[in-house]
Amino acid sequence: MNILVVGASKGLGRAFAEGLGRDGDCITGVSRRQPDDLVPPPSVGLQWIEADMASPREAVDRIERDAPARLDAIIYNLGIWEAEAFSDDYAFLETSDDSVMELVNVNITGTILLLKRLIPRLLQSPKPQVLLTGSTSGLRQSGRPEVAFGASKFALTGIADTLREGFRDQRLAVTCLQPGYLNTDDGLSVPLGDAVGRGEGHLVPVHDVVGLVRSVLDLSSASFVRELVLPAILDERY
């Protein structure tokens, strides 16, 4: 299986790059810079494309040039948020115009342009799959005030639904992941029990997300998961 992971250098994206591959698979990571210490299992191939999705046209040109000729899955995991997001200091009216436009470029424009260029390569696969990492912040009545971030993650649900309709006859499986607050400090090298302890029930370990995505990738071509909502067990919003 050839899997392209956008936003693969740290956090959840790094966990995808390190944890999704199996014997004979190839992971192609995309980020501004390739991390020196990311090592997949010995039987999994690793390629890297250095591209900055803050400049989506240039980044997508590079990815289109260097990505494998055939892909089985694209995981668009990249997403940025406002500088003071998820803190008491966040104030929508004080966010800069430039930061809002950059967020939209990375979270929405980059997603659409990349899929437009690479879906033809996916459709060569017997089981083409797209997974978009959204957020519970993008769900209706999420309880979060971050306007640009929430709107951009809400947009991913629309992208997923419309892609599914447009390529239904080609059996393109499109899944929107909606994780809640994540523990991205503890990577897969940290034992799951230790990662669970951080946040005391208010953070989702990346191990759990990787496990669910692996299950989605392993489904037969007869079914797909439309949406996965994964809040922390003590998340008061759910």
- Is residue 70 predicted with pLDDT exceeding 90? yes
Predicted confidence (pLDDT) per residue in 199-222, tens digit: 899 999 999 999 999 999 999 999
Fold of 2-230: Rossmann fold (3.40.50)
Domain ranges within the chain, ordered by starting residue: 2-230
Rounded to the nearest 10 degrees, the angle between the axes of helix 97-104 and helix 147-166 is 20
| Site of tokens 């494998």 | 68
Rg (CA), the chain: 17
Does the pTM exceed 0.85?
yes
- Is residue 81 predicted with pLDDT exceeding 90? no
Predicted confidence (pLDDT) per residue in 95-119, tens digit: 899 999 999 999 999 999 999 999 9
- Is residue 190 predicted with pLDDT exceeding 90? yes
- Is residue 146 predicted with pLDDT exceeding 90? no
Cβ count within 10 A of residue 46: 18
What distance lies between CA 220 and its chain's CA centroid? 21
For residue 152, what pLDDT band results from cuts at 50, 70 and 90?
A: very high
Q: What percent of the chain has pLDDT over 70?
A: 100
Predicted local distance difference test score (pLDDT) of residue 130: 98
CA–CA dist 194, 196 (Å, integer): 5
77 vs 17, 28, 169, CA distance in Å?
11, 13, 26
- Is residue 132 predicted with pLDDT exceeding 90? yes
Predicted local distance difference test score (pLDDT) of residue 145: 87
Q: In what order do the strands lie in the sheet with 45-50?
A: 45-50, 26-31, 2-6, 73-76, 129-133, 173-179, 227-230
Structure tokens, 82: 């406002």
Q: Judge contact between 234 and 183, C-beta under 8 A.
A: no
**Of the candidates 175, 50, 60, 154, which has an alpha carbon nearest to the alpha carbon of residue 108?**
154
Cβ count within 10 A of residue 75: 27
Predicted local distance difference test score (pLDDT) of residue 77: 93
- Is residue 28 predicted with pLDDT exceeding 90? yes
DSSP of the chain, one letter per residue? -EEEEES-SSHHHHHHHHHS--TT-EEEEEESS--TT----TTSEEEEEE--TTSHHHHHHHHHHHS-SS-SEEEE------TTTTSTT--GGGS-HHHHHHHHIIIIIHHHHHHHHHHHHHTTSSS-EEEEE--GGGSTT-----HHHHHHHHHHHHHHHHHHHHTTTTT-EEEEEEE-SEE-SS-TTS-HHHHHHTTTTSSEEHHHHHHHHHHHHTS-TT----EEEE--TT-TT-
- Is residue 42 predicted with pLDDT exceeding 90? no
